[in-house]
């Protein structure tokens, strides 16, 4: 082999690169699909509560709706704005691990504070785990050994 010729990679390395590229493409697609699914939920809830606040006030925790300092509609509007910002962050793909953690924490709080309405919020459990899956997908550290 002369100096002008570059060494050929073994077939194993070519296959590895092809597999790595396929995995990276699928990871990006899975991340995108999870982010869209999670964001749509927050977008829908925020927009619907802006348009029809009386239908959403019942989902506020009792301690928030019972206090008389801040009007309940103001609290609901503030939470709707928070949901819009969170949806935008999740969709952006920036610092996805942290966006997913905040989405999971928000959904966990919604589930816990509305556990008496489980017939309605049971779907939020699936979205909560989708947010955790998004976090796992973007976590850069070592994951614990397979235990399941």
Residue 58 counted as domain residue: yes
Percent of the chain whose predicted confidence (pLDDT) is above 70: 80
Q: Structural domain of residue 98, as residue ranges?
A: 11-138
Indicate whether 148 belongs to any domain. no
Which H or E run contains 79?
helix 72-92
pLDDT digit string (tens) for 26-68? 889 999 999 999 999 999 999 999 999 888 888 887 777 777 7
Compare 3 and 41 and report the one with higher pLDDT. 41
Whether residue 145 has pLDDT greater than 90: no
Residues sharing a CB contact under 8 Å with residue 47, sequence separation 6 or more, in sequence order: 80
Domain count, the chain: 1
146 vs 44, higher pLDDT? 44
Residue 5 in any domain: the answer is no
pLDDT at 8 over 70: no
């Amino acid at each position: 082999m002369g100096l002008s010729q570059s060494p050929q990679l073994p077939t194993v390395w070519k296959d590895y690169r092809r597999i790595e590229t396929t995995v990276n493409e699928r990871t990006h697609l899975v991340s995108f699909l999870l982010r869209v699914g999670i964001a749509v939920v927050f977008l829908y809830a925020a927009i619907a509560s802006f348009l029809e606040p009386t239908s959403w006030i019942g989902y506020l925790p009792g301690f928030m709706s019972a206090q008389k300092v801040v009007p309940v509609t103001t609290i609901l509007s503030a939470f709707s704005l928070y949901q819009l910002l969170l949806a935008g962050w999740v969709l952006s793909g920036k610092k996805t691990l942290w966006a997913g953690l905040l989405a999971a924490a928000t959904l966990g709080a919604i589930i816990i504070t509305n556990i008496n309405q489980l017939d309605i919020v049971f779907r939020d459990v699936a979205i909560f785990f989708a947010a955790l899956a998004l976090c796992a997908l973007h976590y850069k550290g070592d994951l614990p050994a397979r235990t399941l």
